């Protein structure tokens, strides 16, 4: 392919993978070079780096370097590009009345640690700081995970689903546990016949960690 870029995976023209940074797509500078769209098997000059098929479904959309570099053709009747006025990427928060689910995994084992919710503010704080922020539905406030316990979640990778209304945070879990009960995962029980069965032991004592 020479000096061409495929929509997915993202490459810099060689063998080095381009990582989407924690501080937003808008802060990444890509090399100026021709692009290649795998879906439509067509090349696109760098100066015309926008998707010319914006209304059609594409499984590569959320990882498409054409979409990231140039957006979509502004002259088309395309769907709205998911960027805020300041250029930071955003999600389809309207679909969840302002709140969207965030599935949290250990970045090494891929174990599911917890599920929480993010709004636009929590999403922006996560991108800005590289630490997982959520919106607490019970307290109705922004929540930095680990603010009290010190068991923060350091973002290693963020995955976005095809509808841009659910995310996966792959994290380094500080303190070894994500659950306020002291267990490593909030999913420490399984259904066994007609009851819930605890399947692991707490990593820490909540009474000690959360004492005032």
Task: Give yes or no: residues 116 and 188 share one domain.
Answer: yes
pLDDT of residue 54: 56
Task: Give yes or no: residues 8 and 76 share one domain.
Answer: yes
Q: Which of 36, 53, 81 is the last residue of a domain?
A: 81
Alpha-carbon distance values, 100 to 141, 185, 208 (Å) = 15, 20, 32
Task: Give yes or no: residues 112 and 203 share one domain.
Answer: yes
CA distance 195 to 189: 10
Query: DSSP letters along 64-133, please?
Result: -HHHHHH-B-TTS-PPPPSB-TTS-B---GGGGTT-EEEEEEETTT--EEEEEEE-HHHHHHHHHHSB-E
Q: Which of 81, 116, 148 is the last residue of a domain?
A: 81
In a domain, 182, yes or no: yes
pLDDT of residue 141: 94
* pLDDT per residue of the chain (212 residues) written in tens, 0 to 9: 443 444 433 333 433 333 444 444 333 333 455 666 766 677 766 666 556 665 555 655 545 555 544 444 444 333 444 555 555 678 999 999 999 999 999 999 999 999 999 999 999 999 999 999 999 999 999 999 999 899 999 999 999 999 999 999 999 999 999 999 999 999 999 999 889 999 889 988 988 888 75
Task: Give yes or no: residues 1 and 102 share one domain.
Answer: no
Range of the domain at 1: 1-81
CATH number, domain of 143, equals 3.10.20.810
In a domain, 39, yes or no: yes
Task: Give yes or no: residues 56 and 124 share one domain.
Answer: no
Q: Which of 81, 107, 132 is the last residue of a domain?
A: 81
Task: Give yes or no: residues 182 and 152 share one domain.
Answer: yes
Task: Give yes or no: residues 128 and 171 share one domain.
Answer: yes
Task: Give yes or no: residues 152 and 189 share one domain.
Answer: yes
Task: Give yes or no: residues 32 and 75 share one domain.
Answer: yes
Task: Give yes or no: residues 56 and 117 share one domain.
Answer: no
Domain count for the chain: 2
pLDDT of residue 6: 42
CA distance 16 to 10: 9
Task: Give yes or no: residues 108 and 34 share one domain.
Answer: no
Query: DSSP letters along 28-62, please?
Result: -------EEETTTTEEE-GGG-SBS-TTS--TTGG
């Amino acid at each position: 392919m020479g000096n061409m870029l495929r929509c997915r995976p993202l490459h810099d023209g060689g063998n080095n993978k381009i990582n989407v940074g924690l501080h937003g797509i808008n802060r990444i500078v890509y090399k100026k070079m021709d692009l290649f769209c795998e879906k439509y098997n067509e090349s696109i000059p760098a100066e015309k780096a926008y998707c010319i098929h914006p209304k059609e479904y594409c499984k590569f959309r959320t990882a498409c370097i054409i979409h990231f570099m140039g957006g979509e053709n502004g002259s088309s009747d395309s769907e709205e590009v998911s960027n805020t006025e300041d250029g930071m990427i955003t999600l389809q928060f309207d679909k969840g009345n302002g709140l969207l689910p965030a599935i949290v995994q250990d970045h090494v084992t891929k174990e599911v640690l917890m599920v929480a919710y993010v709004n636009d503010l929590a999403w922006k704080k996560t991108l800005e700081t590289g630490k997982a922020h959520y919106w607490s539905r019970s307290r109705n406030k922004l929540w930095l995970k680990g603010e009290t316990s010190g068991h923060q979640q350091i973002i290693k990778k963020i995955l976005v689903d095809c509808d841009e209304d659910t995310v996966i945070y792959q994290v380094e879990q500080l303190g070894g546990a994500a659950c306020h009960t002291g267990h490593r995962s909030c999913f420490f029980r399984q259904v066994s016949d007609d009851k819930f069965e605890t399947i692991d032991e707490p990593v820490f004592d909540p009474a000690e960690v959360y004492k005032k």
